[in-house]
C-alpha cells in the first residue's frame, strides 16, 4: 500500500463523522431550517472528503475529473434544493424554532 | 450461504410482501407501489441468480432482461398512475372496493 | 481492496439512521430531506465501492445520481409542497 | 487477513439486505402515501447498491437514472392530483377471514419459492460461455449491450414498441399534454437549469457512447435525458407537448430506425436483425442513438401525461412549447 493510498484511505475515514453529523443532526435538530443546516454538512464536506480520497486512490486523471464533476453537481444540487425547501417552508409560514 | 443466495432470498421475500399488499389495500397508489416492490423482488432474484457463475463474470443475459424490465416497469407504472388519476377524476374515488357504489 | 468496504459500511449505517426521519416526519419536507441524505450517502458509498470492488464504471453510476439528485426535490417543491394549497394535514401522522 | 476482508463484505451485504426488507415493509404498510413514496425513492437507491454488489453495473445505471429522475417525480405528481379532495388512504380491502387467507397463501407461496431458491442446482455457465464466445462478432465489447442489441435484438425491438404503447395509453386517458405550474420559477431554479441541463445532455451522450465498451447504452442514456426533460417541464410555467412538432418524430424514430435496419438486414442477408459483422458496431450505435431519443421522449411524455389535468386551461393556440415567465409580467 503506497503513501497516497494510505492518505486516501485516511480521507475516506475522515468523511465518516460528517455523514454521522448529517444523520444525527437530521434526527436531533428541532425544525426544518436547522435540519437543512445539518444535511448540507454531509453533502459538502462528507462527500468532498470521499471525492478527495478517491482521487488519491484511483490515480487516473480521467476518473479524477469525473469525481470532481460529481462533487460539483452535488454541491449545486444541494445548495439549490436547500434554498427551494427553505423558501417553500417560509412561504408556508413555518416559523423558525426559538429557544423556549 | 453465499451472497447471491442472500439477495435471491430477499427478492423472494419482497415478492411475497408486494403480493400481500397488492391484495390487502384498496388504495390505487398503494397497489401500484406494491406491484413495483414485487417487481423489484423478481428482478433481484434474476440478477442474483445470474451471479452464481463459476467465474468472476456474471451471466449477461438476465442482466439484459432485467434492464429492459426496469424501463418497461417504469412506463407501466406511469400508465397505471395515469389510469388511477383518470379513475379519480371520473368517479371521485381512489379506492377499489368490493361493492358497487349504486 | 476489500478493506475500503469498512468506510462504505459506516456511511451506510449512518444513512440508515437518517431513515428514522423519513418515518417520523413531521412535515413532508423533513422526509424529502432524509431522502436527499440517502442520495448523498449513496453517491459516497458508490464511489468507495468503485475502489473496493475495482469497478471504475461505478463512478458513472455515482455521476448519474449526483446529476439527478435535484430533480425529485424540484418536483416536490413545485408540484407538491406549495404554499397556497394546503392539502389537509396529510403530513401529520395520526398514530 | 482473508477472514477480515470477507467480514466487511458479508456485513455490508447483510446490512443492505436488511435495509431493503425494512424499507419495503415500512413503505407497504404506511397509510401515509407521501411517506410511502419517499420510502420507495430510498428503496430504489438501496436497490441500486444491491445491483452493484451483484456486479450488475448496467442495471445500477438504469436504476440510478430512473430511480433518481423519474419514479419519484411520477409518484409525487400523481399523488398531488389524487389528493386534491383529500381522502384518507388507510383501510384494507378485505375482511378478517380474507386477511388470514391472503396471509397464509402468500406465506405459503413465499415459503415454496424460498425453498426452491435455496435448493437451486448449481448454475450452468452455458449462456455465459455462449455469449463470451460470440463477443468478437457482436460489434461491441460490453456483453450486456451485445445481448440487448445483437443476440436478442428482437426482444429489444419489441420492447421499444411496448414503450410506445404505454405512451399512447397515457395520452388516451389524459385530457391534454399540457403542464401548467401555478408560479413562475424562482431565478435560483433557472440557474439550476442553466447549470445542470447542458451537463445532463452531455452525460446522456457519454453513457450512450460508452455502452459499446463498458456499462451504459440506450436505456440508461434515454432515462438520463428524460430526467433532464422532466426538470425543464417542472420548472416551466407552461409546458405544452402538443405544440411540439418534433415530439411525435422523436417518440417514433427509435422503433422506425430499428425496423428499417431489421428489414434491410433481412433483404441483404436473409435474416431479421442479423448484422453484417464488419458493420455491426456502427449499426448498433445508430439504433441506440435513435432509441435514446425515443426512450427519452416517451418517458417525458409519460410524466407530462400523468401530471397534466383537466382543471388547467385548454391548450389554446399559442405555439410555444414552454414558457418560463408569467405572461402578464412580460407586458
Per domain, the residue ranges of chain B are 3-91
pLDDT digits (tens, 9 = 90+) for D133-150: 777 777 788 888 888 887
Question: What is the secondary structure of D15-43 as a DSSP string?
Answer: HHHHHHHHHHHHHHH-S-HHHHHHHHHHH
Q: What is the pLDDT of residue C1?
A: 60
Band of residue A31 on the pLDDT scale cut at 50, 70, 90: confident
Counted across chains A and D, CB pairs separated by less than 8 A come out at 17
Band of residue B101 on the pLDDT scale cut at 50, 70, 90: very low
Q: What does the radius of gyration of chain D's CA atoms come to, in whole angstroms? A: 23
With a pLDDT cut of 70, the percent of chain A lying above it is 99
Q: Are A78 and C40 in contact (CB under 8 A)?
A: yes
| Among candidate residues D137, D319, D139, D187, the one with its CA nearest the CA of residue D242 | D319
Q: What is the pLDDT of residue C34?
A: 87
User: Among A27-41, D199-213, D290-304, which stretch is predicted with the lowest mean pLDDT?
Assistant: A27-41
Q: Is the pLDDT of residue D256 over 50?
A: yes
User: Among B68-72, D1-5, D48-52, which stretch is predicted with the lowest mean pLDDT?
Assistant: D1-5
Average pLDDT, integer, range D44-52: 92
Q: What is the pLDDT of residue C91?
A: 44
Which pTM does this prediction carry? Answer: 0.89
Q: What is the pLDDT of residue C88?
A: 40
Interface touch D189/A80, C-beta < 8 Å: yes
| Residue A96: inside a domain | no
| Among candidate residues A42, A44, A54, the one with its CA nearest the CA of residue A12 | A54
Q: What is the pLDDT of residue B16?
A: 92
Chain A interface includes C53 (CB < 8 A): no
Per domain, the residue ranges of chain D are 1-83+91-122, 130-331
Count of alpha carbons within 13 Å of D247, Cβ hemisphere only?
20
Q: Is the pLDDT of residue C86 over 60?
A: no
Which CATH architecture describes the domain B3-91?
A: Orthogonal Bundle (1.10)
| Residue A100: inside a domain | no
With a pLDDT cut of 90, the percent of chain A lying above it is 8
| Residue A99: inside a domain | no
Q: Is the pLDDT of residue D88 over 60?
A: no
Q: Is the pLDDT of residue D315 over 60?
A: no
Q: Residues near C10 by Cβ (< 8 Å), separated by ≥ 6? A: A16, A19, A20
What CA–CA distance (Å, rounded) separates D306 from D327? 25
Q: Is the pLDDT of residue D318 over 80?
A: no
User: Chain D closest CA to C26's CA: distance in Å?
Assistant: 10
Residue D9 has its nearest CB partner, among C5, C85, C93, at C5
| Residue A32: inside a domain | yes
Chain C interface includes D57 (CB < 8 A): yes
Query: In which domain, by residue range, is A67 found?
Result: 3-91
Q: What is the mean pLDDT of chain D?
A: 81
Pick B102 or A34 by higher pLDDT.
Answer: A34
Q: What are the backbone angles phi and psi of residue A99, rounded to the nearest 5°?
A: -60, 125
> Chains D/A: 3 or more C-beta pairs closer than 8 A?
yes
Q: What is the number of structural domains in chain A?
A: 1
Amino acid at each position: 500500500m503506497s503513501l497516497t493510498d494510505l492518505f486516501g484511505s485516511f480521507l475516506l475515514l475522515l468523511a465518516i463523522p460528517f455523514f454521522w453529523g448529517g444523520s444525527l443532526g437530521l434526527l436531533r435538530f428541532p425544525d426544518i431550517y436547522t435540519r437543512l443546516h445539518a444535511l448540507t454538512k454531509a453533502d459538502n464536506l462528507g462527500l468532498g472528503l470521499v471525492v478527495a480520497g478517491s482521487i488519491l486512490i484511483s490515480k487516473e486523471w480521467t476518473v479524477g475529473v469525473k469525481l470532481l464533476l460529481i462533487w460539483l453537481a452535488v454541491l449545486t444540487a444541494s445548495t439549490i434544493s436547500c434554498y427551494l425547501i427553505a423558501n417553500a417552508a417560509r412561504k408556508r409560514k413555518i416559523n423558525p424554532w426559538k429557544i423556549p | 450461504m453465499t451472497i447471491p443466495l442472500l439477495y435471491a432470498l430477499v427478492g423472494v421475500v419482497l415478492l411475497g410482501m408486494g403480493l400481500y399488499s397488492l391484495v390487502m389495500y384498496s388504495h390505487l397508489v398503494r397497489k401500484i407501489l406494491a406491484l413495483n416492490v414485487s417487481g423489484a423482488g423478481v428482478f433481484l432474484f434474476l440478477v442474483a441468480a445470474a451471479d452464481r457463475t463459476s467465474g468472476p463474470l456474471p451471466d449477461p443475459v438476465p442482466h439484459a432482461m432485467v434492464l429492459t424490465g426496469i424501463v418497461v416497469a417504469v412506463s407501466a407504472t406511469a400508465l397505471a398512475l395515469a389510469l388511477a388519476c383518470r379513475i379519480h377524476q371520473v368517479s371521485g374515488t381512489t379506492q377499489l372496493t368490493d361493492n358497487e357504489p349504486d | 481492496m476489500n478493506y475500503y468496504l469498512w468506510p462504505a459500511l459506516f456511511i451506510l449505517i449512518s444513512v440508515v439512521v437518517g431513515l428514522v426521519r423519513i418515518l417520523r416526519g413531521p412535515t413532508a419536507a423533513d422526509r424529502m430531506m432524509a431522502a436527499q441524505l440517502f442520495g448523498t450517502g449513496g453517491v459516497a458509498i458508490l464511489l468507495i465501492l468503485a475502489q473496493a470492488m475495482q469497478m471504475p464504471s461505478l463512478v458513472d453510476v455515482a455521476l448519474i445520481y449526483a446529476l439527478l439528485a435535484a430533480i425529485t426535490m424540484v418536483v416536490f417543491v413545485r408540484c407538491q409542497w406549495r404554499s397556497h394549497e394546503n392539502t389537509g394535514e396529510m403530513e401529520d401522522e395520526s398514530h | 487477513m482473508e477472514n477480515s476482508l470477507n467480514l466487511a463484505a458479508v456485513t455490508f451485504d447483510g446490512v443492505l439486505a436488511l435495509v431493503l426488507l425494512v424499507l419495503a415493509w415500512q413503505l407497504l404498510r404506511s397509510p401515509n402515501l407521501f411517506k410511502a413514496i419517499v420510502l420507495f425513492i430510498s428503496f430504489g437507491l438501496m436497490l441500486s447498491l444491491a445491483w452493484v454488489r451483484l456486479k450488475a453495473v448496467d442495471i445500477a445505471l438504469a436504476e440510478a437514472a430512473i430511480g433518481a429522475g423519474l419514479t419519484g417525480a411520477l409518484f409525487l405528481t400523481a399523488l398531488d392530483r389524487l389528493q386534491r379532495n383529500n381522502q384518507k388512504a388507510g383501510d384494507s380491502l378485505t375482511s378478517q377471514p380474507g386477511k388470514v387467507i391472503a396471509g397464509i397463501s402468500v406465506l405459503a407461496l413465499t415459503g415454496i419459492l424460498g425453498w426452491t431458491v435455496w435448493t437451486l442446482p448449481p448454475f450452468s455457465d452455458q449462456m455465459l460461455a455462449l455469449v463470451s464466445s460470440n463477443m468478437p462478432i457482436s460489434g461491441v465489447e460490453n456483453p450486456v449491450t451485445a445481448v440487448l442489441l445483437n443476440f436478442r435484438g428482437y426482444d429489444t425491438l419489441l420492447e421499444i414498441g411496448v414503450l410506445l404503447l404505454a405512451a399512447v395509453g397515457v395520452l388516451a386517458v389524459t385530457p391534454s399534454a399540457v403542464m401548467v405550474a401555478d408560479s413562475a420559477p424562482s431565478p435560483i431554479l433557472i440557474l439550476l437549469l442553466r447549470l445542470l441541463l447542458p451537463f445532463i445532455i452531455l452525460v446522456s451522450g457519454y453513457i450512450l457512447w460508452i455502452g459499446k465498451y463498458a456499462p451504459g447504452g440506450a436505456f440508461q442514456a434515454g432515462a438520463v435525458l428524460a430526467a433532464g426533460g422532466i426538470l425543464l417541464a417542472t420548472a416551466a410555467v407552461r409546458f405544452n407537448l402538443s405544440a411540439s412538432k418534433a415530439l411525435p418524430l422523436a417518440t417514433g424514430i427509435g422503433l422506425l430506425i430499428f425496423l428499417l435496419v431489421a428489414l434491410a438486414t433481412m433483404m441483404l442477408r436473409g435474416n431479421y436483425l442479423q448484422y453484417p459483422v464488419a458493420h455491426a458496431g456502427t449499426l448498433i450505435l445508430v439504433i441506440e442513438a435513435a432509441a435514446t431519443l425515443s426512450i427519452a421522449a416517451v418517458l417525458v411524455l409519460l410524466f407530462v401525461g400523468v401530471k397534466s389535468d383537466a382543471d388547467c386551461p385548454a391548450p389554446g393556440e399559442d405555439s410555444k412549447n414552454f414558457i418560463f415567465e408569467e405572461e402578464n409580467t412580460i407586458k
